[in-house]
């Protein structure tokens, strides 16, 4: 028996994630660094992982990267590969922290997600370019990731608390 | 449930365990990476009248050492077979195929090692391809000039003419089926000086490859052969000397899986009567070739690179560029009047440091 | 924000600092010549000596032509066909260890550490 509620909510998450991904991509990047994004699309990933678990989180992530790239016109481009790698790795790490290490709050998980997203992108880029020179950007990306992670983390903790309060969702136990 | 600061105690301990586990795994991984870090192994030997140095990079020091030993063994073997200088009666003389061929000049054919035969066939091919500018039967003329010995001097013209009569590649008879070599006329002699080093270097690289080495640099007295890239995953940087200025590097090559061999008039010569007489003799005239001061050949295989660096030096700048292009190798030349010429194909890998005077061939 | 969160952020900031220190360590304003290594799609496309003379170079990246400019011992990307032009905005680089990367074009410009060992061997 398919859980209709889960299906609907899941679709909502994918739709929102895709939109956020596309919109994010349209915001011009003020820094001379590749891959600095606000990480808004990460929000749906965290929500999915928090309320449903790793599998659903991965599904949402992969779906929103694919769809977002299709719509944004970047499908199968190197940028797409970077996004995908970063997003998947960050989803795995966030899931590990959310369910396996209860000492972290949503804010911390968000920061961890943001920086692992950036590191994942750097790894993918270094493979594409076959050069390690790109790690020159690492310190900056770590700092940027911490900042964006804290911002989205703050919003996320409010969002998750509200969702829990309404009673519709309850936290998935790892 | 007992709590500490709002968290159930059991869950807090779990967090600590997780962090410790992660830290431990990271340490183990780090140790693993450290043990498998790239190492360099270098070794040098004195071979073929020159200093040969082999540098290899890999992860297992012991395997690298074995690979280099195997490489040197190969080089030593080729060196012994092709050495024409050991005096008669010595053990080295008996094991040298070249000595045996020279001893039997005008007498009979000599069965030789497969590698020696390959070198002789290759020498013949290049003799034909360069219109005779390269000839391994130039031994008698080389002996006249005395470059191998203690007192090189300018021979009398008459003596040179006589010696030239003994220089004739067509009279080196090679029998592939029997694997024999025969110098038809008494007095003829082979000099593999411009062949053996490159050939041996290439055999050494094969030995390294067989042992699984992927990054290496062999410097055989200035004959450079690189395998793969250098340690930092960059191409190897090979300098080209300026013939006019001591210690000055004219240009830098960036090479991967290639050989760079240079023939020049600035390292084996003597001065007499105000003229510099160097050791690269034109087998057609019996005198040192003029026109170029240094010729560097870049090719995939060190054997042809060695032979061609000599042959193209003899041909002079313009013909050298033309022939190099025809044979599919890259050439960099410093002419006698100080110009730097090079084939178009090497342009992307050549960095000319003294950009004052140069012009490149548009071929 | 929990205690673990704080540790995490502190740890990341330390890591960023450490990485920055290591990178700066690799910077050498070497005496002599510095060169920029240009790689396109993983293959070596060129080596450019960073001289004082102003010179432009054109290369072909994955999405189109790119133009590099060298002047005053520095190099920068002047024109690129990538959508974000992050590489162009990066501006000049001059020290060993610094890089400019254009991911859509799969081009990397990196300055090699030339102070210690500019040459691996000399052919003679």
In tens, the pLDDT along A29-58 reads 766 666 677 788 889 999 888 888 888 889
Listed residue (B175, B334, B221) closest to C124, CA to CA:
B221
- Can you tell me whether residue C73 is helix, strand or coil? coil
**What distance in Å separates residue C23's CA from the closest CA in chain A?**
7
Which residues make Cβ contacts (< 8 Å) with residue A157, sequence separation at least 6?
A105, A106, A107
Listed residue (B113, B74, B121) closest to B97, CA to CA:
B113
Q: Please give the residue range of the domain that contains residue B290.
A: 235-352
Q: What is the mean pLDDT of residues B116-134?
A: 96
Listed residue (C95, B276, B349) closest to A136, CA to CA:
C95
Give a yes or no: residue B298 inside a domain.
yes
pLDDT band at B248, cuts 50/70/90? low
What is the model's pTM? Answer: 0.60
Give a yes or no: residue B168 inside a domain.
yes
User: Regarding predicted confidence, which is higher, C62 or B144?
Assistant: B144
User: Which residue in the block uniquely carries the two structure tokens 């091919």?
Assistant: B125
Structure confidence at residue B135 (pLDDT): 96
Give a yes or no: residue B272 inside a domain.
yes
Q: How many domains does chain C have?
A: 1
Are C110 and A133 within 8 A, CB to CB? Answer: yes
Does the pLDDT value for residue B363 go beyond 60? no
Give a yes or no: residue B79 inside a domain.
no
Q: What is the mean pLDDT of residues B63-91?
A: 94
Q: What is the pLDDT of chain C when averaged over all its residues?
A: 78
Distance CA A102, CA A99 (A): 6
Listed residue (B79, B80, B123, B141) closest to B282, CA to CA:
B141
Give a yes or no: residue A173 inside a domain.
no
Nearest chain A residue to B14, by CA: A101
The interface predicted TM-score of the complex, written ipTM, equals 0.82
Question: Are residues B245 and B186 located together in one domain of the fold?
Answer: no
pLDDT (tens digit, 9 = 90+) per residue, B44-68? 888 888 889 999 999 888 899 999 9
Does the pLDDT value for residue B39 go beyond 90? no
Structure confidence at residue C30 (pLDDT): 37
Distance CA B43, CA B55 (A): 7
Give me the residues of chain A with pLDDT under 70, please. Answer: 1, 30-35, 130-133, 168-174
Q: Please give the residue range of the domain that contains residue C51.
A: 3-111
pLDDT band at B70, cuts 50/70/90? very high
Q: How many domains does chain B have?
A: 2
| Cβ neighbours, 10 Å, residue B108 | 9
Are C2 and A143 within 8 A, CB to CB? Answer: no
Give a yes or no: residue C49 inside a domain.
yes
Give a yes or no: residue C117 inside a domain.
no
The CATH number that applies at residue B277 is: 3.10.520.10
**At which of B135, B165, B191 does a domain end?**
B191
The CATH number that applies at residue B165 is: 1.10.3980.10
Are A136 and C13 within 8 A, CB to CB? Answer: no
Structure confidence at residue C31 (pLDDT): 38
Q: What are phi and psi of B28, to 5 degrees?
A: -60, -45
Which residues make Cβ contacts (< 8 Å) with residue B203, sequence separation at least 6?
B74, B75, B78, B115
Give a yes or no: residue C40 inside a domain.
yes
The CATH number that applies at residue A144 is: 1.10.1760.20
Strand order in the sheet with B110-111: B110-111, B180-183, B172-175
**What distance in Å separates residue A63's CA from the closest CA in chain C?**
22
Are B234 and C112 within 8 A, CB to CB? Answer: yes
Give a yes or no: residue B21 inside a domain.
no
Q: Please give the residue range of the domain that contains residue A92.
A: 4-166
pLDDT band at C26, cuts 50/70/90? low
Question: Are residues B329 and B275 located together in one domain of the fold?
Answer: yes
User: Regarding predicted confidence, which is higher, B223 or C113?
Assistant: B223
Nearest chain C residue to B267, by CA: C124
Does the pLDDT value for residue B36 go beyond 80? no
Give a yes or no: residue B243 inside a domain.
yes
Question: Are residues B246 and B336 located together in one domain of the fold?
Answer: yes
| A134 in reach of chain C (CB within 8 A) | yes
Nearest chain B residue to A96, by CA: B18
Give a yes or no: residue C45 inside a domain.
yes
Give a yes or no: residue C11 inside a domain.
yes
CA A21 to chain centre: 10
Q: What is the mean pLDDT of residues B25-34?
A: 69
Listed residue (B257, B207, B189) closest to B76, CA to CA:
B207
pLDDT (tens digit, 9 = 90+) per residue, B183-217? 999 999 999 999 999 999 999 999 999 999 999 99
Cβ atoms of A126 and A134 within 8 Å: the answer is yes
The CATH number that applies at residue C17 is: 2.60.320.10
Give a yes or no: residue C121 inside a domain.
no
Question: Are residues B242 and B348 located together in one domain of the fold?
Answer: yes
Give a yes or no: residue A95 inside a domain.
yes
**At which of B156, B191, B226 does a domain end?**
B191
Partner-chain residue, chosen from C15, C89, C97, that has the shortest CB–CB distance to A142: C15
The pairing of beta strand C65-71 with beta strand C74-79: antiparallel
pLDDT (tens digit, 9 = 90+) per residue, C40-77? 876 667 767 777 778 888 888 888 899 999 888 889 99
Q: How many domains does chain A have?
A: 1
Q: What is the mean pLDDT of residues B127-143?
A: 95
Q: What is the mean pLDDT of residues B341-349?
A: 92
Are A129 and C103 within 8 A, CB to CB? Answer: yes
Give a yes or no: residue A90 inside a domain.
yes
With contacts defined as CB-CB under 8 Å, which chain A residues touch C8?
104, 108, 111-112
Beta-strand (E) ranges in C53-112? 55-60, 65-71, 74-79, 99-102, 107-111
pLDDT (tens digit, 9 = 90+) per residue, C103-115? 888 888 888 755 3
């Amino acid at each position: 028996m398919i859980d209709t509620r889960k299906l609907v909510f899941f679709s909502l998450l994918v739709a929102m994630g895709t939109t956020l991904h596309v919109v994010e991509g349209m915001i011009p990047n003020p820094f001379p660094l590749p891959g600095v994004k606000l990480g808004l699309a990460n929000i749906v990933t965290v929500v999915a992982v928090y309320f449903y678990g790793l599998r659903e989180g991965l599904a949402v992530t992969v779906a929103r990267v694919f769809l977002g790239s299709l719509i944004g016109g970047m499908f199968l481009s190197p940028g797409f590969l970077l996004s995908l790698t970063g997003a998947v790795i960050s989803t795995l790490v966030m899931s590990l922290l959310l369910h396996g290490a209860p000492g972290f709050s949503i804010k911390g998980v968000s920061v961890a997600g943001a920086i692992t997203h950036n590191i994942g992108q750097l790894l993918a880029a270094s493979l594409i370019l076959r050069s390690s020179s790109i790690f020159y950007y690492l310190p900056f990306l770590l700092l940027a990731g911490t900042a964006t992670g804290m911002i989205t983390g703050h919003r996320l903790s409010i969002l998750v608390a509200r969702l829990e309060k309404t009673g519709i969702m309850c936290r998935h136990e790892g | 449930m007992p709590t500490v600061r709002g968290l159930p105690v059991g869950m807090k301990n779990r967090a600590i365990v997780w962090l410790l586990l992660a830290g431990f795994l990271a340490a183990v991984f780090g140790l693993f990476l450290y043990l498998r870090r790239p190492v360099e192994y270098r070794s040098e030997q004195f071979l073929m009248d020159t200093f040969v140095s082999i540098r290899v990079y890999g992860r297992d020091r012991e395997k690298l050492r074995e690979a280099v030993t195997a490489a040197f063994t190969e080089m030593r073997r080729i060196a012994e077979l092709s050495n024409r200088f050991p005096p008669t009666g010595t053990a080295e003389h008996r094991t040298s195929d070249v000595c045996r061929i020279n001893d039997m000049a005008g007498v009979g054919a000599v069965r030789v090692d497969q590698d020696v035969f390959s070198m002789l066939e290759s020498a013949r091919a290049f003799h034909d391809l360069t219109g005779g500018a390269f000839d391994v039967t130039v031994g008698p003329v080389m002996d006249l000039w005395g470059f191998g010995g203690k007192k090189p001097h300018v021979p009398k013209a008459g003596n040179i003419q006589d010696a030239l009569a003994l220089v004739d590649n067509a009279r080196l008879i090679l029998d592939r089926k029997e694997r024999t070599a025969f110098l038809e006329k008494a007095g003829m002699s082979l000099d593999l000086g411009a062949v053996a080093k490159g050939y041996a270097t290439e055999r050494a690289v094969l030995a390294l490859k067989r042992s699984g080495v992927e990054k290496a640099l062999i410097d055989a007295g200035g004959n450079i052969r690189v395998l793969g890239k250098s340690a930092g995953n960059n191409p190897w940087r090979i300098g080209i000397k300026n013939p006019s200025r001591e210690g000055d590097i004219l240009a830098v090559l960036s090479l991967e899986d290639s050989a760079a061999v240079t023939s020049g008039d600035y390292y084996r010569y003597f001065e007499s009567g105000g003229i510099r007489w160097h050791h690269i003799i034109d087998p057609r005239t019996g005198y040192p070739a003029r026109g170029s001061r240094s010729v560097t050949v870049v090719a995939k295989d060190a054997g042809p690179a060695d032979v061609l660096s000599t042959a193209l030096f003899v041909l002079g700048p313009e013909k050298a560029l033309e022939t190099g292009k025809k044979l599919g190798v890259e050439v960099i030349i410093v002419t006698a009047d100080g110009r730097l010429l090079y084939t178009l194909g090497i342009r992307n890998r050549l960095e000319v440091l003294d950009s004052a005077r140069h012009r490149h061939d548009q071929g | 924000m929990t205690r673990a969160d704080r540790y995490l952020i502190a740890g990341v900031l330390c890591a960023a600092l450490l990485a920055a220190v290591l990178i700066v360590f690799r910077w050498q304003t070497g005496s002599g010549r510095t060169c920029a290594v240009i790689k396109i799609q993983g293959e070596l496309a060129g080596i450019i000596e960073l001289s004082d003379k102003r010179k432009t170079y054109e290369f072909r990246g994955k999405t189109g032509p790119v133009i590099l400019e060298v002047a005053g011992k520095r190099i920068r990307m002047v024109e690129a066909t990538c959508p974000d032009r992050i590489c162009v905005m990066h501006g000049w680089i001059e020290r060993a260890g610094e890089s400019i990367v254009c991911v859509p074009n799969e081009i990397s410009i990196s300055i090699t550490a030339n102070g210690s060992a500019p040459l691996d061997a000399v052919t003679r």
